[in-house]
Structure 1
């Protein structure tokens, strides 16, 4: 079992979005409904109204409009979904993900609301300069992924007291731009650190022989390089503005980081230390709906071989399945 896989080779962003929306109408509708409810239950925000304030490039606007048209959903609610990290900063689920990159591998357990499982797709896009594959929520333009240059990206949410607003570039759009345009870790670092962000995130970028974690926040970026790119949900270097609130509010981030730093990769992804809030996260029934978090998916990327493996659920009970990518020479 794996998530739906959608393959795109359309020539324009609108055509690509339109075909995606038509084929993945049900997952897109789930994405819209999930964030409509989540925004409303956190602070009463209206997704459609917020969507008018999301910063997008022209091609991103066209692609989102195409998805909305194809899936018969509201374009501005989809714009808001693409900025869900920024809209929910300090208000939504408190943790998201454990990441490790080492020895030419990059892996992540994506922890988010359990209702996001019905939105999750693997999207493979062939464009004029190459291809990329991303595991994302249908209608959101990018998340965890790998491109034809062997560059992989993963995401951890961070949080500081300085976070808030929609004046920056949404992190999911930065992930998409990285996958579509960058060919090396250095190029990814340049793109990420030149962006303005209004919510904090850590983007781990890796190539077969290089890895870096870029901690983004409203005060500016920290770039951390080394042989291992392990990250959870707290800052490894102090944020440049505000205070890191995650270690106090979500203390499981500390032991999870130790697990991904010290255990063999697959063992780490399946670890239940600090259960239910381990690296392999399970539902805590005591949490209210809006704060529920589980491991929705697990991804392991072999960067040199251009292999993308996805487990459609917690890796303790779901196998990582290889997704066929466009370049047969690297299979």
Structure 2
């Protein structure tokens, strides 16, 4: 089955971008607030009102570092008829709910070489968001254009930009989380970065609240992977100048120097990573179409129920069910995004140009 999504194209400053999303996805944002009003007690042992209070120091820290991104949140609230703090609860979803050891989250991969540069990402999150995606194409006053699909009410965290950079992210679970700039805010900021070096700087900002994995590539065929915890980070860099190179990541720390911060014991994450590596080793070869390879990996079910293409577990309570809510493959040489809402096994990818 295919899943609906809202398409938004906007040119303007950050507040205008947020307002356009809020106006176009007003119904979906209201549904997201309603979902979390019921689900947060299970997911975070908080009422929604308690969560609105809990996120305030995070947003104030974000305002210190990225006031323009907070203006985007304010625009979304204005456009959707909600409050900043309701939108902030969605923005701080990782900070509020990703403190234990969940079953799964995202899978990201990158393949460069043979004149191609491709990044792919399955956005695995709570199933309540699968029919509330927004396909956003935004152009900012400085000329930056980015294209992303994300659930309504959330800041875009993954995507491709006119600077020839694309990136995905994977939630990580460390023992040094703290009040700081929310991960989604840093990811949204990174979408505007003009170089991989700037992506690194923004994702590793010293005032970040928590850890994440950030896997990016540029049209020059360079791959950058950055693992962060709340207080530490580790980098891996690959280049197609060395031939065809690929990398994959899920939701466990891989860098030995960050192993001491790991709190996840997720077998799901390990199985997805092992399967992605197996497929990339078999398929990401010179002469292959790397967009097709990435899409094939992201559709894979071989390790079900711990599969790369995720589907909700009907045995779990509704608010705890996770699935692939969106799938994106970014072709950096062509400047295109291949995208679908929901699990990619259920829909054809649409193609959107930057």
Q: TM-score, normalised by structure 2?
A: 0.84
Contact 1:25-1:71 at 8 Å conserved across structures: yes
Alignment partners' CA distance in 2, 1:122 and 1:202:
23
User: What's 1:49 paired with?
Assistant: 53
User: What's 1:132 paired with?
Assistant: 146
Out of 142, 146, 161, which is 1:147 matched to?
161
Alignment partners' CA distance in 2, 1:239 and 1:159:
15
- For residues 221-278 of structure 1, the C-alpha deviation after alignment (integer angstroms, 9 at most, x for no partner) is 11122332310111111354844232x2x20212211222231333321111221220
The answer to whether the aligner puts 1:105 opposite 2:105 as a matched pair is no
Q: SS at 1:267's partner residue?
A: helix
Alignment partners' CA distance in 1, 2:333 and 2:204:
25
Contact 2:16-2:72 at 8 Å conserved across structures: yes
The answer to whether the aligner puts 1:77 opposite 2:78 as a matched pair is no
Q: What are the residue-to-residue correspondences of 1:202-241 with 2, within 5 Å?
A: 202-208=213-219, 209-226=221-238, 227-238=245-256, 240=258
User: What's 1:8 paired with?
Assistant: 10
Q: SS at 1:276's partner residue?
A: coil
CA 1:53–1:119: 2 relative to 1, 3 Å = farther
Q: SS at 2:130's partner residue?
A: helix
Alignment partners' CA distance in 2, 1:82 and 1:315:
25
Segments of structure 2 that go 5 or more residues without pairing to the other structure are: 239-244, 284-293
The answer to whether the aligner puts 1:293 opposite 2:322 as a matched pair is yes
> How many corresponding residue pairs?
319
Contact 1:93-1:292 at 8 Å conserved across structures: no
Contact 1:160-1:239 at 8 Å conserved across structures: no
Q: SS at 1:252's partner residue?
A: helix
- For residues 14-63 of structure 1, the C-alpha deviation after alignment (integer angstroms, 9 at most, x for no partner) is 33322321221012212322333332323124232223222323222322
Alignment partners' CA distance in 1, 2:6 and 2:102:
25
User: What's 2:274 paired with?
Assistant: 258
Give the superposition deviation at 1:9: 0.7
Out of 300, 303, 315, which is 2:344 matched to?
315
Q: Which 4+ runs in 1 deviate beyond 4 A?
A: none
User: What's 2:204 paired with?
Assistant: 193
CA 1:197–1:299: 2 relative to 1, 3 Å = same
Contact 2:6-2:132 at 8 Å conserved across structures: no
Contact 1:214-1:224 at 8 Å conserved across structures: yes
The answer to whether the aligner puts 1:176 opposite 2:188 as a matched pair is yes
Alignment partners' CA distance in 1, 2:95 and 2:259:
16
- Greater RCO between the two (CA within 8 Å, min separation 6)? 2
User: What's 2:68 paired with?
Assistant: 59
Give the superposition deviation at 1:139: 2.1
User: What's 2:241 paired with?
Assistant: none
Contact 2:275-2:303 at 8 Å conserved across structures: no
User: What's 2:303 paired with?
Assistant: 274
Out of 296, 303, 306, which is 2:335 matched to?
306
Q: TM-score, normalised by structure 1?
A: 0.90
Alignment partners' CA distance in 1, 2:158 and 2:38:
24
Alignment partners' CA distance in 2, 1:285 and 1:13:
39
Contact 2:69-2:188 at 8 Å conserved across structures: no
